[in-house]
Structure 1
Amino acid sequence: MGRSSLTKLLVVLLLVSSGQTYGRAESITAKESQTATGYVFYDANNNRQRDAGEQGLACVRVSNGREVVCTDENGLYQLPVTGDTILFVIKPQGWRTPLSKNLTPEFYYIHKPNGSPKSKYAGVKPTGPLPASVDFPLYPQKEPAEFRAIFFGDPQPRDQKEIDYIAHDVIEDLIGTDASFGVTLGDILFNDLSLFQSQARGIALLGIPWYNVIGNHDINFDAPNDKLSDETFEREYGPAYYSFDYGTVHFITLDDVEWTVSEKDKKGKYQGGLGIEQMEFIRNDLKQIPEDQLVVLMMHIPLVNVNDRQELYRLIEKRPFCMSISGHTHHHEHRFITKADGWRGPKPHHHIINVTVCGSWWSGTPDERGIPHTVMADGAPNGYSIIRFDGKEYNLDFRAAGRSEKYQMNIMVPEEVAANQLVETDVIVNVFNGSERSKVAMLIGAVGTWVPMEFRPGIDPGFKKLSETENSVKDKKYRSMPNAKKSTHLWHAKLPAGLKPGTHLLRVRTVEMDGDKHQSGRVIRVVPARPDEKTTATGVTEK
């Protein structure tokens, strides 16, 4: 046996003994490098094949998940590949990629000659030898500078019944949307990866391209390492991290779910992380993006919970136009990342933790449709976001599932207040899309002065009362709600003195950080004085 063969044998034995082997599918071939060659071209006859005379497209970026290269004047590119590589085109402005029957973009070629290793949920079938030319068809489309995109956080259905919840609670209201595309920010499912197709079929009814971020409930839990945890996701959607342009915006989809397996007890767990290869891709990708172009990072685990975020910060903190968005925590929040988190940029980084479609995991009492109300633990309803992009600017609209788009806040104040207890009675407002940069004020009656309310994050008393009441029911037929968690969008004030007994309209208005204005109201009754009584914002009378 020669030295080269002996070295390969030793490597295989080491991989097997450490549990890092891909099984028969991986072996040494995954480490042996080849060169992939191909063209990015205008598929004029829409047959997904490069035919004679079809134009190659110059200056289109292509990646192998590490390097990023641009096609030459003929549309030609070359990239190194191993026995486990996904090649993908970075969709340029003004072009679209092919779409699957479920309208998920097909912008990639999977090279796994021996396929994925065996697991509970199937991965990729063997793809065979590397083709002589790996080509990527593109099709021209109009992409205005101003457009809208839909963002779903954590639909997270356990079964078909909960996929049906999503259809009735969210999808039906979005039919006919003018959004250009949509994104699910991870936890597409809740562990049962056999449901990917069913979930995608429902979302496809919206009629727009739909991108997907991998979440911690979308991975293979029987995988021996992080590299193999994405195999089923890759079969359905391609690479777990990639990028694309739409309009003048550059979007980067990140895989920030790292799967680790203990050598001692072989138990797996996830953590927030990006890893060396992905960081190399991000670095090479951003090198080709002008600093004055808006960059949007899309991920599942919030950026502040990613272990190697500091390295990512160094890549984006000097960019004047960059924001990020995630899901995972099942509440809605605008985070402003500052020096306290190691950020060194000239101004805080805006990170959005998006409202979740499943709210609090489809918990709580069912409504008249049989769908749980599933209010999130910060007191906000389940739903989704629509972000309007316009050049370097963006504007997020919060949408509550099954509600009017005007439903933007919950005003908590007693139904009835004694005249002598007005100045001791709390008004608490949960502005669902609010942040520390919002301005909230209240007014009672048709005329008068708007009184600023105090921004005071904390527990939403309405949610706390709701969850405690519902969870105390014995033999309940619905899933228990989570405990209340700190809400970052609460405002407080006291009722003004001097209100006469009678029925009054309390109005609340908010001006959000992006200039959006919303107003809502609540009717209260003032009754004659009742000595020795105090009424809380949730209507509890204390003597």
Structure 2
Amino acid sequence: MRPSVREPRKVRAGVTALAALAVVGSGTVIATAPDAVADPVSTWNDSAYRGQVEVVRAQDGTERSVLRGKVFVDRDRDSVSDANERGLRGVLVSNGRDVVTTDSRGRYELPVYDNMTVFITQPSGYQVPVDEHNVAQFHYNHLPEGSPDLRYGGIAPTGPVPAAVNFPVVRSRVTQDRKQHCVIGGDLQTYDKTEVSYARKGAINDLAQRSDYQGCGTLFIGDVVGDDLSLYPDVKNLTSVLNGPARFLPGNHDLDFDAETAEHSFDTFRAQLAPAYYSYDVGDVHVVALNTVRYPCTPDVDNADGLRPNCDDPENKPAYNGRLDERQLAWLEQDLARVPKNKLVVIASHIGLLNYADEGSPVHQVDQVREVYRLLEGRKAVAVSGHSHSIENMRTGDLAKGWRDLFGLEGLPFPHITAGAISGDWYSGQLTEDGYPVAVGRDGGRPGVLTLDIKGNSFTERYTVTGQSDQVQTQLGLNTPTYRDWYVARQEWNRTRDGAAPELVEPTVVSRADLKGTTWLTTNFWMGSTGSTVEVSLDGGPARKAVRTQRMRGEDQFVGPEWSDPHAVAQQLVHGGSLADRSMHLWRFELPADLAVGAHEAKVTATDVHGRTFTDVLAFEVVEQR
């Protein structure tokens, strides 16, 4: 089982500041920066629309098979549908299966079934209320008898169908703006209060200093906590400092693991945070938040093809699978059918439709990926996901061997982005001077958040490393024979702990033997993708192209020390965590075998598919022998 699946608790090797050991190169000078607003503002929390859904309880004891209500413009912001407050027509309302549109007076009717969540799709130009923690309020859970006995409580009994459930909204210029900045936060995944504090000092503090996402807000795409659902109130305390609405979708570490059926596996998540799936609009964007985790998975539904034997014993060995249930698929088809074709559709999920890190796994991608593609045919779309704790910018046409073998695909129909993780590699490694772990990921990536910078129905992607500006986009290293020998020796020592630990000495020094045995200067370009370029200029000479190690043209993953990020591995093998032994965003430049003895400087220019250029510099030394 891969690290992204098992996710064992990592052991931190010390609490000192990040040593210089493996810091070969990680600073970047930007030539053309993405759009961003860096100055914090206080206007959001001063003026945010705070409120809740209005639930009108029935007094007559009548059994209702239909739920009625309205969507109304809450002029006085008291969350109460007053006689002089108009209903809003054309708003999508759903019970998780059926989708209806409000009439000219804002009214809707929906069929009732037990254990349903009723929610609206926030329309562009309007804002749903947020609570005191900035969590968006746009849904009502209906479960008359409440959840079965669950460790973390689930949903309390809701009683009979209400006389009405009314959804308040207010007009909003920031959600109407065709220019949006949508923050995607992957895998916050706090296992305890210490890790909550790491998140607060890291990515959450960064977001508190930004003011560019008030319209679209922040969407946390699953594994909000690490199995301990009692930490949800702590997470909501984190979102209270954000400058925009917070939304959540569920991951495999947000489960009620004691639920006996998939029907109740996210009851506590639904009670505390959000529906298991839903949609909302801002500007010219339609965001769909999916639940791609089915737990417990079962042999009849999930393993009919024999590829998921982990699902064969749900009673004694419950497990999860990447899958949409039939009810959600029915909802998705109806939801998308009501979205204008000219809108950008953002498909967000925890387990990605597809990814690179787990490209050969049928469990850690979504069974019905082809059905989702069918529903999106002819639309402008982008998929964003978490789960794998890696950063992956996959473009239209990209192909991995596993996607072809498992799903019969011949290339992506639209971009897919794996958004990295706020927790990075599960808060592993040494602590930085700012008090949160380095947590370098399995792809050599660093903790951070993704932002989709949107203009109309077009987007550019931006990854912000925790504690850094948007200018930091690459890290450099030297992959020498000396490093590769150490890689193998240190791995073996980590297994046996026999004798003294092999040390990687002077990682920026290259010997003549290293050059003759092939030495590469490596560039890990986090948002690098098909269509990106990396060029290297040695000592002021002409720029020459580096080669991408993984071309994403249907080949299998290239794995091992020669395909690794030495900057990341030098930290991981010493301080714990995953191993960056493969990446789809690593470039290599072979140093000349006759490079002169002495000091040298490499200037690296990375250019993304949008034409933005980033320049990084690595100083190193060539010696006759070590």
Give the TM-score normalised by the residue count of structure 2.
Answer: 0.74
Give percent identity, aligned residues only: 32
- The amino acid of 1:302's aligned partner reads G
Distance 1:126 1:284, change over 3 A: same
Query: Is 1:68 matched with 2:104?
Result: no
Tell me the amino acid that sits aligned with residue 442 of structure 2: A
Secondary structure class of the residue paired with 1:211: strand
The offset of 1:421, in angstroms, is 6.6
What SS does structure 1 have at the residue aligned with 2:164?
coil
Return the letter of the residue paired with 1:92: P
Measured in 2, the distance between the counterparts of 1:276 and 1:405 equals: 40
Asked if the contact 2:68–2:110 (Cα under 8 Å) also holds between the matched residues in 1, the reply is: yes
Task: Give the alignment partner of residue 256 of structure 1, picking from 292, 307, 310.
Answer: 292
Indicate yes or no: 2:543 matched with 1:450: yes
TM-aligned CA distance change 1:266 to 1:174, over 3 Å: same
CA–CA distance in structure 1, aligned partners of residues 412 and 191 of structure 2: 40
1:269 is aligned to 2:329: no
SS in 2 for 1:260: coil
What is the aligned partner in structure 2 of residue 331 from structure 1?
390
Q: Which moved more, 1:511-520 or 1:273-282?
A: 511-520
- Aligned letter for 2:564? I
Q: Which has the higher contact order (CA 8 A, sep 6+)?
A: 2
**Which residue of 23, 37, 40 maps to 2:68?**
37
Counterpart residue identity of residue 452, structure 1: K
1:84-123 maps to which residues of 2 (within 5 A)?
84-123=115-154
Which segment is superposed worse, 513-522 or 47-56? 513-522
1:78 paired to 2:171: no
Say yes or no: does 1:429 pair with 2:460.
no
CA shift at 1:62, angstroms?
A: 0.7
**Residues 1:83 and 1:418: Cα distance change in structure 2 (over 3 Å):** closer
Change (3 A) 1:320 1:343: farther
How far 1:311 sits from its partner (Å)? 1.6
Find out whether 1:506 has 2:542 as its counterpart.
Answer: no
Query: Are the structure 2 counterparts of residues 482 and 415 from structure 1 closer, same or farther at C-alpha, using a change threshold of 3 Å?
Result: closer
- Deviation, structure 1 residue 460: 2.0
Task: Give yes or no for the alignment of 1:494 onto 2:528.
Answer: no
Larger deviation, residues 505-514 vs 335-344? 335-344
Q: Could you tell me which of 276, 279, 291 is aligned with 1:240?
A: 276
**1:266-320 deviation line (CA, Å, top 9, x unaligned):** 331111000100000000001011222110000000112111222212111x224
Question: Residue 342 of structure 1: CA displacement?
Answer: 4.7
Q: 1:159 to 1:484 in 2, by over 3 A?
A: same
- Looking at structure 2, the residues matched to 461 and 417 of structure 1 have their Cα atoms a distance apart, in angstroms, of 14
Q: Work out whether 1:312 is the aligned partner of 2:375.
A: no
Distance in 1 between the 2:412 and 2:224 partners?
33
Counterpart Cα distance in 1 of 2:611 and 2:95: 41
Equivalent residue in structure 1 for 2:160, among 115, 123, 129: 129
8 Å CA contact retained: 2:201, 2:435 = no
Task: Identify if the C-alpha distance between structure 1 residues 518 and 309 changes in structure 2 by more than 3 Å, giving closer, same or farther.
Answer: same
CA-CA distance at 1:494 after TM superposition: 1.8
1:59 and 2:90 aligned: yes
- 1:367, CA displacement in angstroms? 2.9
> 2:213 touches 2:243 (CA, 8 Å); kept in 1?
no
Conservation of the 8 A alpha-carbon contact between 2:345 and 2:379: no
- Judged with a 3 Å threshold, the aligned counterparts in structure 2 of structure 1 residues 140 and 499 are, in CA distance, closer, same or farther, namely same
Name the stretch that deviates more: 81-90 or 32-41.
32-41
Q: Deviations over 1:406-463 (max 9, x none)?
A: 22111113523457975743211111221232111111234x3210101113322333
Is residue 474–residue 525 contact of structure 2 (8 Å, CA) maintained in 1?
yes
1:154 offset after TM fit, Å? 0.4
**What's 1:416 paired with?**
509
Q: Distance in 1 between matches of 2:604 and 2:136?
A: 43
Structure 1 residues 370 and 46: alpha-carbon distance in aligned structure 2, compared to 1, 3 A threshold: closer
**Aligned pair 1:399/2:464, yes or no?**
yes
Asked which structure has the greater CA Rg, the reply is 1
CA distance in 1, matches of 2:264, 2:186: 24
Is the contact made by 2:134 and 2:242 (CA closer than 8 Å) also made in structure 1? no
Shift of 1:192: 0.4
The 10-residue stretch of structure 1 (517-526 or 241-250) with the greater mean CA deviation from structure 2: 517-526
Query: Which one has a larger percent strand, Structure 1 or Structure 2?
Result: 1
